[in-house]
Structure 1
Amino acid sequence: MNRFFYPDYSATSQMLTDLTFGLAERGAEVSVITSRLLYEDARAALPTRERVRGVDIERVWTSRYGRTGLVFRLIDYLTFYFSAALTLARSARRGDIVVAMTDPPALSILALVLAWSRGAHLVNWLQDVFPEVAEALQLAGKRSPLLFRPLRLLRDLSLRRASMNVAIGSLMAERLLQLGVTQDRMIMIPNWADTNAIRPVPPMSNRLRSDWGLSEKFVVAYSGNLGRAHGIETLVDAMTITGQNGEPEIHWLFVGGGVGLEQLKRAAEELGIANLTFRPYQPRENLSQSLSVADVHVVLLRPALEGLIVPSKFYGIAAAGRPIIFVGAADGEIARLIMQYGCGATIASGDGIGLAETLSTMAKNTVHCRRQGERARGMCEENFSKEQAISAWNELLERVERPRAISRSNECCAEPTLE
């Protein structure tokens, strides 16, 4: 269950698409309950029912306000809860495994009630930890404790009673332990990249780099959603500095969308920053080209959100063989990986000068920059490939299902009772 799915390009949709198609290829019976919307197009009219690559897709009705504001987004959430609940109640059978993602937030609460009522197992796949994310971003202001306390109690219950909870990072796993989730009901399976589909493309043979007029520039990219969890302040400061320092070879490229991207566009226009290019989300089949346009990528996460979110764009960038500059906490999930594998650098949030200086150094030493990218690719192949992740998920689901199989075996083999 997740609000977005194939053919949508958003991060959770891509993860779910990879997983479900991969499990179906291994012989699993897989169904997806999702919406008819696209992340960037609330007016999309995707088919209500469809079977793609062995996966049965049921797209339920929801309101279509999209990303026009928090109140309207909440309405979209509520209508999805209602429609998804009816569909799950109708389709779930005893012994099924219900995998609930975290879009919309707190989906685990709904999933637990319905899975329990139908005799199904619940596996929570946490792409973020809500309502802590909302509190860290102060989305409800001073009313947060009052609004979120009841929700947190129900959320904690849904995590503790689930058959398994999947955290996507070590810091998130630590958070779950603090929430009272026991070790036997938790596992860490990081997000991943399709290292066969996403490969490094040399600059000279990169069609998009040429088409976008960036062939002779040192390109610094941000790819994906730029939202409230990321912040634009450090980026704007660094963009201003690189423009003022007479370094025209440094060119900024933004591929994707989000509320933060719109804010950044306005800030760049007000400040007269000219060395930048904007492009929309790219189809998955173009990711090798689009991610390889850049010489280096920037990944952002507000420090308060460490342990609550892990930016999944990190893995695609690594698969494309490009170094990563992480702007955030020095002891965060991504920062630790960058230090361990020597595939980039970490800059503190708010340090626009440090980001600009690091980029200037990389632009002047492209050989070292390329080596960092090669190490990023090696890290991804070794630890974060799609095949490894699907194998881990397959083993997990077999483990969740095993008690049911053992129970059935015991029933079949039990001695008959004489009356």
Structure 2
Amino acid sequence: MRVLVFGINSSPDLTGIGKYTGEMNAFLAKRGHEVTMVTAHPYYPEWKLGSGYPRYFWKTEEVDGVRVYRCPLYIPSDPTAMKKVLHEISFLLSSVPVWLRLVFSRKYDYVLSINPPFHLTAFPLLYKWLRRAKLISHVQDLQVDVVKDMDLIKNGLFLNTMFSVERFLLRQSDWVSTISRGMERKIREKGIKKEKQFMFPNWVDCSFISPVSKLDSLRYRFELEQADQVVLYSGNLGEKQGLEMIVELANQMRERVGLKFLIVGSGGAKARLEQMVAEYALDNVLFFPLQPYEDLPRLLGTADVHLVLQKKEASDLVMPSKLTGILSSGGLALITASPATTLHEVVTEYNMGVVVEPGSLDALQAGLEKCLEMGGESSEIRNNARSYALRYLDKEAALGRFENRLLTLREKK
């Protein structure tokens, strides 16, 4: 089976869509399939060009048995909404020479477009038309809905145009996959029939990420006491999560002895968060960069409570990727999600976390105090989290199901 994948992020990104795309490609290549990736130079989540990659030129390399064509792009140091649009367009334009080469050199069974950005599907669609490949749009994030609901772009005509283009590209796809039931419902509302959709959830390597004791965690690296109560937010520091609430919460609870808030990661909101901490003169909030992937289990084991925060407007449009690792580690997650969302439904149904109303500092504080006071009572939630990950999110099982789906769809051609 020959698979051509197009997406703006891939390995060696440590978080988010790029991590999942790279692992998917490596799995398929290891299973003997021919996989080609067209992507950008690494930059995420630091929003800085990865070491060893040219700023203005292209690069071809082999990663885990996958042939990877890397394209230059504009990387804003402060990624505002409009700068992100330019960032995405620059990648689309710089990928043109690669697409011209691929169209005339190789026939693939599938061309797989990783969304967002949603408009990247334009080139895979052209490839489908010219080479009669099957097009799959894999939706990790309903980008246009998020932009609209969070009021990041106010121009109504521009938003309507983006929605129209998105609907056209999804309807022209042979199949549309996504990562949650809520997103499936949203995609059906865009006119995509249920029979054209299939579930391809994000996964976790349960054999690698498993429960780690505090003694074996990274507390020593962060100069934390074993007796400290540690609240961890780890991952991309972006705009959709409403991360300023972490600082507000730390300020509200600054008098609580031994309570530490760890913010581990990088992203567009980091400078603003650091400024807030300085203005409040807080000593209970600590910032650290993303840790090496091999240390992820020990990082997760550092926390008494994990924060999974999203703004109310985005709570059913994205499924937080960080949650998979928290569940696999048997962590106690405090999650903001509205009652009608997939996230709320799943966490509540399996009793694998504490869910509170998004956008409410009072609700978040009450939820955190509940988590901190649970003690041994949290063991049931932790066990449920680990069990859910093993049953539904295991990496080999999820990717194996996806491979079988591709093989089955190919036979139906």
TM-score w.r.t. the length of structure 2 is 0.91
Report whether the alignment pairs 1:15 with 2:8: no
- Aligned match of 2:8: 3
Q: 1:177 to 1:363 in 2, by over 3 A?
A: same
Which residue, 338, 347, 355 being the options, matches 1:329? 338
Q: Aligned partners of 2:97 and 2:191: how far apart in 1?
A: 30
68-77 vs 217-226, greater mean Cα deviation: 68-77
- Match of 2:298, SS state, is helix
Cα pair 2:47 2:75 within 8 Å, conserved: no
- Aligned match of 1:49: 60
Question: Letter of the aligned partner of 1:54 in structure 2?
Answer: G
- Aligned match of 2:290: 281
The percent identity for this pair of structures is 25
Q: Which has the larger radius of gyration?
A: 1
Cα pair 2:352 2:382 within 8 Å, conserved: yes
Which residue, 32, 38, 46 being the options, matches 2:37? 32
Question: What pairs up with 1:41-80 in 2 under 5 angstroms?
Answer: 41-44=47-50, 45-46=52-53, 48-80=59-91
Q: Aligned partners of 1:312 and 1:38: how far apart in 2?
A: 18
Q: Aligned partners of 2:346 and 2:102: how far apart in 1?
A: 41
Question: Letter of the aligned partner of 1:202 in structure 2?
Answer: S
- Match of 1:257, SS state, is coil
Cα pair 1:94 1:120 within 8 Å, conserved: yes
Q: Greater share of helix residues, 1 or 2?
A: 1
- Aligned match of 2:92: 81
121-130 vs 72-81, greater mean Cα deviation: 72-81
Which residue, 180, 187, 196 being the options, matches 1:176? 187
Q: Aligned partners of 1:235 and 1:348: how far apart in 2?
A: 15
Shift of 1:394: 0.4
Q: Aligned partners of 2:110 and 2:261: how far apart in 1?
A: 44
Q: Aligned partners of 2:43 and 2:400: how far apart in 1?
A: 28
Question: What pairs up with 1:188-207 in 2 under 5 angstroms?
Answer: 188-206=199-217
Cα pair 2:113 2:124 within 8 Å, conserved: yes
- Aligned match of 1:111: 124
Which residue, 304, 307, 329 being the options, matches 1:298? 307
Q: 1:395 to 1:66 in 2, by over 3 A?
A: farther
Report whether the alignment pairs 1:157 with 2:165: no
- Aligned match of 2:257: 248
- Match of 1:212, SS state, is coil
- Structure 1: 5+ residue runs without aligned partners? 405-419
- Structure 2: 5+ residue runs without aligned partners? 1-5
Cα pair 1:302 1:329 within 8 Å, conserved: no
Q: 1:13 to 1:370 in 2, by over 3 A?
A: same
Report whether the alignment pairs 1:126 with 2:139: yes
TM-score w.r.t. the length of structure 1 is 0.90
- Match of 1:365, SS state, is helix
Cα pair 1:124 1:159 within 8 Å, conserved: yes
Deviation track 1:212-250 (CA, whole Å, cap 9, x = no partner) reads 12222111111101221111353333222211xx32222
- Aligned match of 1:270: 279
Cα pair 1:200 1:292 within 8 Å, conserved: yes
Q: 1:65 to 1:270 in 2, by over 3 A?
A: closer
- Aligned match of 1:231: 242
Cα pair 1:106 1:130 within 8 Å, conserved: no
Shift of 1:163: 1.3
Q: Aligned partners of 1:173 and 1:103: how far apart in 2?
A: 15
- Aligned match of 1:102: 115
Question: Letter of the aligned partner of 1:24 in structure 2?
Answer: A
